Structure 1
Amino acid sequence: MRFLIPFLFLTTFSAVCQSLTQTVRGRITDAETQAPLVGANVLLLDGNPEQPKGTVTDTEGYYRLEGVPVGRHAFRFTYLGYEEDVRQNVIVGSAKEVILNSSLREAITTMAEVEVKAAGVGEVQNEMATVSARAFTVDETERYAGSRGDPARMASNFAGVQGADDSRNDIVIRGNSPQGVLWQLEGVPIPNPNHFNIPGTAGGPVTILNNKVLANSDFFTGAFPAQYGNAIAGVFDLKFRNGNNEQHEFSGQLGVLGTELSAEGPLTKNHRSSYLATYRYSTLSLFQALGIDIGTTSVPRYQDLNFRVNFPLKKGGNLALFGLGGLSHVDILISDQKKPVRDLYGQNDRDQYFSSHMGTVGLTYSRPYGTRTFLKATVLTATEGVSAFHELVYRHVDANDNYQVDSLVPLLDYNFRQHKLSGGLLTYHKFGARSTLSVGANLDWYFFHFQDSLRNIVEGTPRYYQFRTRWDAQRSAVLAQPYVQWKYRFSDAWTLNAGVHAQYFSLSGSVSPFEPRLGVQWNLADGQALSLGLGRHSQMQSPYLYFYGQETVDGVPQLHNLKMDFTRSNHAVLSYNRALSRTMRLKAETYYQYLFDIPVTVRPSSFSLVNTGVGFSRFFPDTLQNTGIGRNYGVELTLEKAFSQGYFFLLTGSLFESTYRGSDGIWRDTDFNGNYAANALVTKEFSFKNNSTLQLGTKWTTAGGRRYGPVDLPASEREREVVYVDSLRNSWQIRPYFRVDLRISYRLNRPKVAHEFSLDLVNILDRQNVLNLTYAPNEFDPNASPIREEYQLGFLPLFYYRIDF
């Protein structure tokens, strides 16, 4: 490898300048019915004006544009009676063809009155979205400094969105718990798509999703359309792209986060079928070899697979098989330590053996019926699980000030598994250019297998240990979610989106029969728009919480939370959007969210489920009731310039309040109420005559610290973990968070092959940001306080080399 890098750079700077070209092709369809548009025009906008390069679509809506120079380009798609679509900043490389599809929206005015315009920066794919929605591309997940190719970490740069922990990709949306986020793939909910995930969370340290298989997808932060349910914070609506159906293409990547291989190509060229697959394996042992701090001295191991196989059918139909899955494993062994060692993922009194898995496979069928109706049906099977075994480590400090292990005592053993069968149906019917009706439903059939036992210390004379079963559940349940949506465009200026969502969960008997959703958009002059979004949303609780048994009878846990109801919330969002130029926009949103029916303890306390859903620990619920409430409100500002003229920037800021009331009747700040957050991202790209490009990018982030309170030291020593004074919960605040990231990427295009070198320098200033307080007695100094600050990740360099051919 060390001989390869100098050779490639020598090739770069000694290469004879040559003009490399590539083929750009794709399909143009109606945005709502997906019917092909025959004879649509495609034009390369930044080509030679004297000899414009363009083409038209065939009888199935496909087009092909050859001889496009390597670099960044803009394309225009037009069709008689439809609004045009302009795609800026399309990267054309030498190694792989560019598949660029477009969906055009039918104009509602006569051709003499149509004002054609480009799609807005970050405009979402979902036609029913009105506010708090943002499209994201594969290019963005790679271009944003510190994002690591991860959609969740990329989304933390948007206004109103924060990361909760540098070591994980949990995201806090407008002060909500990260567990309020829905992950959806091809229109159907999927399990948490992250390695080393913990029950009750929606994130993890490393994503299973591979951005190389993603198509343009949508992200919602509030008041989302009726199509989405079982979420109160936000939605990731993900889509997989199709592989190249005309030629085989491959990629290989070697980096700190793992070794990757990807391949795509045709199955049978005559039928346009294709395959696309990526595989990654990592041990993270390279971090140890380089002396890089990742928060643990253990060696996490993981592997994942993403794939899609696509089969176009007759009459515009399409059948696709898709899936993703991951395996992860780590052993955190403090019994091997000789000196105290920092570990963000473990506890300082035990050895931990942990593994997790997640997998989903689905089949989706879609077809337009004529020019007015479109149907999409998806079936999916999914599984997820975690298992852990803990041993208490008893040790002492020897004469040489080293740890010596006295004994290992089994402490707990748990195995949580969850399977489900899912089905999703979506239909669109367009009555005309003005009116579209969408009707659909999602059905999830769950199978729960939760088993857990803990070795308790029973006080007495003599004191002894006794195992207690806390979970022993093998149940099934159904979650049903029908919905209907209607879109009506009164004119080019006024658009109405209205819908109703319903939800039923058979395990608890919870019903939310009527969840209205409303969106109104008013397009003003000079590229301005005002939008209003309203909606009621609900979410079931994390499944494992229903089955916890605080007390046991004859060894059988007594389930006291089985009838927990949904958590519900009302959203109101007012949005102002202004296009400052073809590539720049200003967006401001203000919102209010009222949460109710939140589970809190029956006995008066400060506890509320709004503060859970982050980290590596499960929650062991007391008896809960749905009487808690909360409120989130704030204002957000975004100034964004799409990539053009060699650079882009994204500036976001938010001011917010996030408070709740527990069963003690006192209003408090939530754990996530930092009050403010701001991000600044800038990337500059330099192009050279030898078909290479250099990207320099940076990200600056600052945010208010999370909330905490005074520590109850006697209780903490008794429980061997931090216990806060309940009445003073969240009365204090951690110091403000600040981080600077830097990204350097160099790409060399050669005939039929491309090389890329990338270096992400995360927290380049090595800032010590406080994560939380931890209980960590110092065996070397028994008089020292057992409570200390735990810091987030320090300076973290991440690099990779990729070859496309």
Structure 2
Amino acid sequence: MKQRIVVVLCLFWLFLSGIYGQNYQMKGTVIDRSTRQPLEFVNVLVVGLGTGASTDAEGNFTISKLPPGIYRLQASALGYKTVLTSEYRVNHITPHIQIEMEEESAALAEVTVTASPFRRVAESPVSLRVIGLQEIEKAPGANRDISRVVQNYPGVAFSPIGYRNDLIVRGGGPSENRFYLDGVEIPNINHFSTQGASGGPVGLIDADLIRSVKFYSGAFPANRGNALSSVLDFSLRDGDMERNSLKATLGASEVALSSNGHLGNKTSYLVSVRQSYLQMLFKVLGLPLLPAYTDASFKVKTRFDARNELTVLGLGGIDRMKLNFDIDGEDAEYILSYLPKIQQETFTLGSVYRHYAGPHVQSVTLSHSYLNNRNLKYRDNDESSPDNLTLRLRSIEQETKLRMENTSTWNTWKVNAGVELNQTHYTNDTYQQIFIIDTLSVYNYHTLLNLFRWGVFGSVGYTSSDERFSASLGLRSNGNNYSGRMKNMLRQLSPRLSLSYRWLKNWSISGHWGLYYQLPPYTSLGFKDREGIWVNRNLDYQSVSQGSLGIAWNPDSRMEVSVEGFYKDYNRMPVSMADGIPLACKGNDYGVVGNERLVSSGNGRSYGVEIMFKWLLQQKLNLSSSVTIFKSEFQDGTTGRYIPSAWDNRFIVNVSGTYNLPRQWSVGMKVCCIGGSPYTPYDEDKSSLVEAWNAQGKAYYDYSRYNTERLPAFGQLDVRVDKTFYLKKCMLGFYLDIQNVTGSKLRQPDVLMSMGEIANPEAPAAEQRYVMKSVRQESGTLLPTLGITFEY
């Protein structure tokens, strides 16, 4: 017996020795960005460790004896700008790293510029945050979902309900965001997306594929159009050209399998497949909706030679949402009365060809996106009779996009210009019962809309040799053949200007102003009335004039304190003819937004101030805290007074940090608080009508009292603990992510619902009313998640 114990202890000691005695290496190549030729005698350092190496005659470097972890590299050489790379994980399959360096102006011979993760770009010196691998992997409460990671940043509101990923940025609606994947535009980044808006219960992109994310809450680049509130620009990892690897992840809502490697000497690949068990999780939590999804993504990159490369990528998902009839309770009964069954299939396929010609880089991006959305609802969820049908929607959106652009760089100048073409095919077969004013109406129509869109853009940027001053001037314009108003590109002329100046040593002031335009959703452009007539032909592009001014203090390359004010002036907002509410105030629930009669007469504004503190200690601490104080309002078309929008939470507070402990342990914590949302009381008289209730299965709002009430503020605490084992040929990781540790309860408006009993059965059908009841609503529960990752 003692011998067995000794053997077990020896094996355990050997196991620990294999874990903690491992050292790894980083290999890479440094090249000139313009000539694509290797650079010799470049100093490459591991940030935070002081360990490094110099490149040889072929531009190659090797840094050995590195402990496992997540690192950045800094490359410096005489005559070149110092470069700080993205974050890379160092383990048994550390990828080969390629670093591109840009030749420095001769005027900077006597000046040393320190690389920093807080360095600004001329086109977006404000409102831009770069999210690295450490935050994506270990952000508390995010469960490796990029939409939830972004919610840690200033100006971004979060959904306290907990199972929605809507991005509400600087008081703008969830339909005002745009997403790009290695330069390819994707319609949405969430499963079960709300057609005509965004959001859903879980992200569509596997975090294992992401290298970094650029998050623009304003100051959008000219080559990123059709956005009013934010742009998320994802950079995916490249496959490893030296070895093939496999990674399995058991996350909060899904199990994932990913692989990366190479196919021959010129082509790398990256692929991921995920299958959810969210349906099981929601059933355990007692939620009335049971979503299940499958998604897959891939990236294949071929480098034909030093100057030509082709990237092909794809992203797709299959979504099925059932209703959970096995739970009791008035809350569940209410949601089940109106929530439809949802089925969706979505995918995007895209390719990017890039040619390097000295200081010029030409790229051609071609992509095709597809969304098939189906909603089905029967009164009382009784499908035994076709007479109970209240909603049947079959809608398909397809977009084929072509973008051609050229970027030229000459020392302190950068010029970008290009064109975009877009062919859209939108179909919609809808049967829907709607109770308008005092009449039950039935919409039964078919839409076939072919839309051709075009756009041109250009920008000129200047950065002084010492990087103290930068300026950028951009211009963009879009048009389409939907109507004569939208065809006129002068109506969508979109100028923008950015300026930044660093004074003293560590202080900088930056500003931006821009005029941006966005096309209304296809659900609105293709909507028909009961006579089958397109009624929204007079819609315009909606616009926002946005200005930002910020001051930043960087005491060193690891810390930043910033204060930024913003003002957004909305015009031509699509407004519902039925209730007088702007479309931007809708879209944070499941279903469809925009399929109604609209008019482009809305005006609004959002303004506030953001304060942020960021502290990065390599291999130790990643701390981020922010406070946002703002107002979001729209103008009443009748009285001209400003009314709080649906996103007018007034304040957002976030404090989030991860600290790395010895022996590959890390602990993270997030404290967040958000002001109470405004809400609209119900129209009890209209809601109790039998015909009205049966049409949509839920109460109607009294829009004459729109957002006159407000909920209390809400806050919660999330905690995460990670432990990683690095072995000789594999990596094993565990994490425990606990959301809402304190079990905070979110108070929601009491719901008004029917008891199914007619109070006056003797009255005519149009005057019959249900007996109604009010149900108290609150949500919020402690949600622990155990995650496991294994990489071989």
- Structure 1 length-normalised TM: 0.88
Counterpart in the other structure of 1:399: none
The superposition leaves residues 157-195 of structure 1 with CA deviations (integer Å, 9 ceiling, x where unpaired) of 101111235211111111111110011223232211221
Q: 1:256 to 1:652 in 2, by over 3 A?
A: closer
Structure 1 CA distance for aligned equivalents of residues 237 and 404 of structure 2: 20
Deviation at 1:539, TM superposition (A): 0.3
Counterpart in the other structure of 1:400: none
Q: 1:643 to 1:351 in 2, by over 3 A?
A: same
In the alignment, does 2:424 pair up with 1:446? yes
Structure 2 CA distance for aligned equivalents of residues 737 and 459 of structure 1: 35
* Aligned pair partner of 1:202 in 198, 202, 210: 198
In the alignment, does 2:86 pair up with 1:92? no
Counterpart in the other structure of 1:77: 75
Counterpart in the other structure of 1:43: 44
* Aligned pair partner of 2:600 in 597, 607, 626: 626
Matched ranges for 1:308-347 at <5 A: 308-332=299-323, 334=325, 339-340=328-329, 342-343=331-332, 347=335
SS in 1 for 2:205: coil
Matched ranges for 1:299-698 at <5 A: 299-332=290-323, 334=325, 339-340=328-329, 342-343=331-332, 347-349=335-337, 352-370=340-358, 372-393=359-380, 409-430=388-409, 432-455=410-433, 468-469=443-444, 471-492=445-466, 493-509=468-484, 510=486, 511=489, 512-550=491-529, 552-553=530-531, 557-601=532-576, 606-619=580-593, 623-644=597-618, 646-664=620-638, 665-688=640-663, 693-698=664-669
Preserved CA contact (<8 Å) 1:606 1:727: no
Deviation at 1:626, TM superposition (A): 1.6
Structure 2 CA distance for aligned equivalents of residues 468 and 86 of structure 1: 57
Q: Which runs of 5+ in 2 are unaligned?
A: 1-7, 760-769
Counterpart in the other structure of 1:146: 141
Paired residue type of 2:23: T
Q: 1:301 to 1:72 in 2, by over 3 A?
A: closer
Preserved CA contact (<8 Å) 1:188 1:424: no
Structure 1 CA distance for aligned equivalents of residues 26 and 736 of structure 2: 29
SS in 2 for 1:347: helix
Q: After alignment, is 788-797 or 753-762 more displaced?
A: 788-797
In the alignment, does 2:273 pair up with 1:279? yes
SS in 2 for 1:393: helix
Counterpart in the other structure of 1:137: 132
The superposition leaves residues 610-645 of structure 1 with CA deviations (integer Å, 9 ceiling, x where unpaired) of 312221143465532222111111110000111436
- Structure 2 length-normalised TM: 0.89
Structure 2 CA distance for aligned equivalents of residues 435 and 385 of structure 1: 44
SS in 1 for 2:25: strand
The superposition leaves residues 566-589 of structure 1 with CA deviations (integer Å, 9 ceiling, x where unpaired) of 110111110111112221111110
Counterpart in the other structure of 2:54: 55
SS in 1 for 2:533: strand
Structure 2 CA distance for aligned equivalents of residues 495 and 70 of structure 1: 38
Instruction: Name the % identity.
Output: 20
Paired residue type of 1:673: D
Q: After alignment, is 80-89 or 184-193 more displaced?
A: 80-89
Structure 2 CA distance for aligned equivalents of residues 412 and 381 of structure 1: 29
Structure 2 CA distance for aligned equivalents of residues 193 and 320 of structure 1: 20
Preserved CA contact (<8 Å) 2:143 2:251: no
Structure 2 CA distance for aligned equivalents of residues 101 and 467 of structure 1: 60
Aligned length: 761
Paired residue type of 1:154: V
Structure 2 CA distance for aligned equivalents of residues 473 and 172 of structure 1: 30
Q: After alignment, is 609-618 or 308-317 more displaced?
A: 609-618
Deviation at 1:286, TM superposition (A): 4.0
Structure 2 CA distance for aligned equivalents of residues 505 and 456 of structure 1: 31
* Aligned pair partner of 2:682 in 711, 714, 735: 711
Structure 2 CA distance for aligned equivalents of residues 584 and 29 of structure 1: 29
Preserved CA contact (<8 Å) 1:317 1:367: yes
Preserved CA contact (<8 Å) 1:377 1:423: yes
The superposition leaves residues 421-457 of structure 1 with CA deviations (integer Å, 9 ceiling, x where unpaired) of 1112221112x21112111122221100111112579
SS in 2 for 1:216: strand
SS in 2 for 1:206: coil
The superposition leaves residues 215-267 of structure 1 with CA deviations (integer Å, 9 ceiling, x where unpaired) of 22211001222122101101011222211011011101224411111111110
Q: 1:72 to 1:458 in 2, by over 3 A?
A: closer
Matched ranges for 1:177-216 at <5 A: 177-216=173-212
Q: After alignment, is 766-775 or 749-758 more displaced?
A: 766-775
Preserved CA contact (<8 Å) 2:375 2:591: no
Paired residue type of 1:348: L
Preserved CA contact (<8 Å) 1:636 1:653: yes
Counterpart in the other structure of 2:766: none
Counterpart in the other structure of 2:710: 733
Q: 1:387 to 1:34 in 2, by over 3 A?
A: farther
Structure 2 CA distance for aligned equivalents of residues 530 and 675 of structure 1: 25
